[in-house]
Every structure is written in C-alpha cells, then in structure tokens.
Chain A
Amino acid sequence: MSIIRTVNLEKNFGGLKALSNLNLSINKGSITSIIGPNGAGKTTLFNCITGFNKPNGGDIFLGNLKITGQPPHLIARSGIARTFQNIRLLSDMTVLQNIMVSRHINLKYGFFDCIFRNKHFFLQEDISTQKAMKFLDFMGISEYCHHLATSLPYGIQKRVEIARALSLEPEVILLDEPSAGMIHAETMSLMSQIQKIRDIGKTVVLIEHDMNLVMSISDWVIVLNYGVMIAEGTPNEIKNNRQVIETYLGFAHEHLA
C-alpha cells in the first residue's frame, strides 16, 4: 500500500527541468532510498513533497490526501517530517529545547493557557517533555539533552535532527543525506537506527550517496537522473540494472560492483 504517491510531477527552475513527469509511489512502512548523481533532482523532490517548492504540474498524495502546493507547515501537520542536507539545528537552544520546538503541533493548548498556567498546560508540557526524552533515548542521545545543540559533534547533531523530525510523530520521515560526513562506525549505528524507525511503523524515505547503506537497509530503491526516474526496484534489482550502472559508471561503480 502506497503512502506517498506522485502523479506526473513536474518542477522547473527557469528553463531547467528539475523534475519531469515523475510517477513514483512509496510503500507504507518501508525504507525507500532515492539515489542518483548530483543534480538529479533528489532534494527538489523532497522540497516538493514537503511544500518548500511548488510543483509546476502534477500531484502529490499522502495516503488519499492531496497535498500538492500546500504550505510546508500544513504538510508537516498532516504527517510528513524531514531533515535537511546541512544541519539546521537552532544554535541558541539545548538539544531538549530543539526537540520541544518540534513538539509544537502536538502541544494542544492555547494562548490563555500559557498565561494562566492551568493544569491542562502542565499536563501537555509534561507529556511532551517525556515524549521528547523518549525520542532522544530512541536515538541514543538522551545524555546530551542539556547540551547546547551546536556544541555537539557532527554525528550527534545529525541524530538530534532525526530525533527532532521523529518527535513530530509523523507517518513519513524524509532524511536528506543522513550519513553525509559520517565516519564508518557512525554510519553503521545510523543504519540500525533507521531500521528501528521503520520497525516502529514509520515510513522512511532517504536520499543517500553511501551505496553500502542504501543497499543493505532499503526495501525499495528509486534512481533519478536529470529529474527522470530511470529505475526502481529492490536493491538487488538495482544493482544489476544496466541503465543504473551506466549512469553511475565513473562516479561510483566501485560501490555497485
């Protein structure tokens, strides 16, 4: 069953066709990797799905809900969370505060509850703090909760970003190059964490360049080139796909061989 579906999705930047006639579907509860050379339109696809770029044509569905052209915050509310290619944590806040920011949509209290600090307010805040801690724990970084987010090592910051996306409690989580800049050991633990995210019932979509990671954890791989989907399939099918090998030849064939 597909949870995200695009129908004839088009996105142009001036004369450049970043995405053209893209039809793809992502299965619920799967780990789907989107791969392709630089400039293939991977991040543009993410931006279209999350509403940061408005598509020029076609539609995007989340389940049965049409989310094409919706503003980003509404898409986030309807259940798609994302991370960014370059880390975008809030620098003046601790890790826990960063996570609490993304609890925003799950905190159900109003302006006057803030001023009067009634029972409801504290209840909501307590639940959210607990949940935030739970997600930090889930990513194995709860010990850092009172550190300033940007003072932490790179690998930890990446995990904070994922925890932040998770704490929106989304159905789908989009990870933009989660392993970029990580050393081997960090990538290995990241892999198991991504699998854990899938195991709690979330759908994970990731953009990745690390073929080892892609091939070992993905349920489904989608290959983009120049905004066109040139192949999709299980990791094994992709490994043996001629067109994919040709596209990657000279870039990363050593990973695929």
Chain B
Amino acid sequence: MNNYIQSNTHLIRLFNVLLISILVLPFIGLQHSATLLVVLLVVFFLKDYLKVFFSSLALSFSGYSFSRYKKAILVVSSVIILIIPIMPYSQYATDVITLCLIYVILACGLNVIVGMTGLLHLGYAAFYAIGAYSYALLSINTGIPFLATAVLSIVITSFIGLMTAFPALRLKGDYLAIVTLGFGEILRVILNNWQSLTNGPNGLSGIPAPHVFVDFTDARMMFYLTAVVCFVSVFIILRVERSKIGRAWRCIKEDETVALAMGIDVVRYKLISFVFGSFWAGLAGVLYASKMGFVSPDSFTFLESILILCMVIVGGLGNTYGAIIGAFILICIPEILRDIQTFRMLIVGLVLVLLVIFLPKGIVGSIKDVNHTNSKS
C-alpha cells in the first residue's frame, strides 16, 4: 500500500515537470521549451543526489555557531560598510549602500508592524511616500531649516499613520492587509493626478540636500549621515523591542486573547505599533528625498511595499537583525544582477518562493534554529 502511494507521487511529480514545459510552450516556442524539459528532467532524476549535496552543505554550515561570533560579525561588517565610500572608484557602491541603509530603516520599521505585532501591512510604501513628499514640498516651498522640515515631515507621516490606523485596526488579519493596500493605491493615484501639488507623474525635483551646520551635497557625506541615522534608528527599535512594549506586541501577534487576559490594551498597542512603524517610514522618506533630490510616484508603488515586506520576511519575521540582512540582500542582489536587467525580477520572484518554502523562518531565524539544535545535542 505504502509502496503504491510512493510510486504514485513520483509519477505525479514527473507529470508536473512535463506540464511545466508544456505550459511555457506558447510563450517561449518549441525549441526553448524542449530545452527546459531536458533541464527539468535532469534535475528531476538527480534530485535525490542534489538533496544529499544540499543537506551536507547545510550540515557543514551548521557546524559554526553564529551567535558566538555575532558581535564580531556585526563589527566587521559595519566597518567594511563604513570604509567603502573612502575607497577609490567607490561612487556607485556608495550610492547603493546608502540606498541599502535607507531600506534598512524601512525594513526595521515595517518589521515592527508586521513581524512583531503581526499586522499585515501592504501599503508601507505609501508612508514612505508621505515622508518623502512632505519633505520635498516643505523644503521646496518654504524656507524652514532642514532639521525642522525633517521633523515636521516625520510628524506628518506618523500622524497620517495614526489617522489610518484608527479605522483600519478595527479590522482583522487579511482585511487590514487589503485596507492598507487600498490606502497605498489611493495615495499613488493621488500623487499621480494632483498636478498642482505633486506635479503628477513627473515628480518633484530640486529638493535641497540636508543642511546641518554643513551641506550634505556630497554623496559620501550623505552616506555618513544616513549611516548615523540608520544606526540610531536600529538602536532605538531594538530597545523598544526588548521592553514591555515589545513583549506586548509579540503577545498580540501570537494570541490576542491571551494578551487581553494579561491586561494588555490590544488596540492601544496596535496603534503604537502602527504609528511607531510609520515614523520610520517617514524618516526613510526624508532621507530618500534629500539624497535623490527628486521624488516621483514611481518610487512608491505597491511593488515597493512588497519589496520592503520581502526584506522583512527574507531575514526572518520579527527579527530586527533579519530585517537588516534582508534589506541588504534585496537591494544588492538586483544591483548585482543589473547586467541581466530583464531577468532580474524573474529571479527575485523565484527566490522569494524558494525562500519561503525552504527557509520558512528566514535567514536569521534558520541560523538560530541550527544553533539551537546544536547547543541541545
């Protein structure tokens, strides 16, 4: 009986492989789909060997105890990142890393909402956009100094976060996701169509660079400013995470009923989470606008929200370090793949699927698991 079921699933898998190559036939033509079929069949028949290969790879990987070297890894990688801009011919790298750091803030901020509190937020890019546009409009149209403009933009973002959270948090789970998504779409359409204020799809240009004592016009200066802001942000988020507030969030994420029974004001803590998360989006928006000197609705689409969400998930939901790693991976991989431009989103999509299936707890979460089993045995 058992044997029968086994062979049956094997056949079904073979059938699926054939199906894939038939399904892509209308799109890529006979020749390519035949090639694909051959490749898939080879993989299919060698998959047992591949499994052995990968598990032995994972085994050798798990020999290291990462938590022991956590501090060392953190310090070394920070130092490397910090000296890159001083190196010669590093202009491009500096730009990419500055962008990475902005996304680190975004990923950590979204991680507060999705990872820690368990509120699925699909419109995070909207708040990023509000931060960026507020800064752009205020700095172009008024003469307020940089710091005041920045603070004001972040306050506006957080306030709009609060205003959307009030009605949205009455909803549960997927409904919340869809309302935040709807909010993001509405905002994007408004940015595209409110010509007089936002200049529509052409965006706003000529946004002044930050000015604190000196002008941060140089890319290198901008990088160090971003690095400092990013460091402080992560620091603050980690501290809030490791307090009664973070614990309350985690409890709400896992079991709202228990949270209520423990005297946690669930609605209030969800609000705090939402506003706290929006705050970082606003901050990242300000940094982005002032670095680029230009904002347009194209930078804040639904795909952007999803990209930030993916950073959080790739690293490991609810783990701030994971969000940091996720941000670096998801910004750097497409940059590395820039030469095969048309391919790259294809690969990003595929990697996402493979990651959730094979590394369900994200990168950091999986490393933690390995360490846990090691220390037990």
Contacts and interface: CB of A to CB of B under 8 A. Distances in A.
In their complex, do chains A and B touch, with some C-beta pair under 8 Å? Answer: yes
Interface of A: 50-52, 71-74, 76-77, 81-82, 84, 88, 90-93, 97, 100-105, 107, 109, 111, 113-115, 117, 121, 125, 164, 168
A76 B263 contact: yes
19 contacts: A50-B261, A71-B260, A72-B260, A72-B261, A76-B261, A77-B263, A84-B257, A88-B258, A90-B254, A90-B255, A92-B318, A97-B247, A100-B244, A101-B248, A101-B262, A102-B263, A104-B244, A107-B244, A168-B262
Given A73-B265, A77-B263, A104 B248 contact: yes
Contacts of B244: 100, 103-104, 107, 109, 114
Contacts of B266: 73
B260 A73 contact: yes
Contact of B261 (A82, A103, A111): A82
Prevailing SS type, chain B contact patch? helix
Interface size class of B (residues with CB under 8 A): 20 to 34
A52 B247 contact: no
Nearest to A165: B261
Nearest to A83: B261
* Most chain A beta carbons < 10 A, residue from B258, B263, B318: B263
B239 A104 contact: no
Interface string B215-254: 0000000000000000000001001100111011011001
Nearest to B251: A101
Contact of A115 (B240, B254, B261): B240
B247 A101 contact: yes
Contacts, number: 85
Interface of B: 236, 239-240, 243-245, 247-248, 250-251, 254-255, 257-266, 272, 318
Given A103-B244, A114-B240, A114-B245, A76 B260 contact: yes
B257 A121 contact: no
Given A76-B263, A115-B236, 8 more contacts: A71-B260, A92-B254, A101-B264, A104-B251, A105-B262, A114-B239, A121-B243, A125-B243
A102 to B, nearest CB: 4
Contacts of B250: 90, 92-93, 101
B239 A115 contact: yes
Contacts of A81: 261-262
The 8 closest A-B pairs by CB, nearest first: A76-B263, A72-B260, A114-B243, A105-B263, A102-B262, A107-B244, A77-B263, A90-B254
B273 to A, nearest CB: 12
A76 B247 contact: no
B251 to A, nearest CB: 5
A35 to B, nearest CB: 23
A104 B260 contact: no
A174 to B, nearest CB: 10
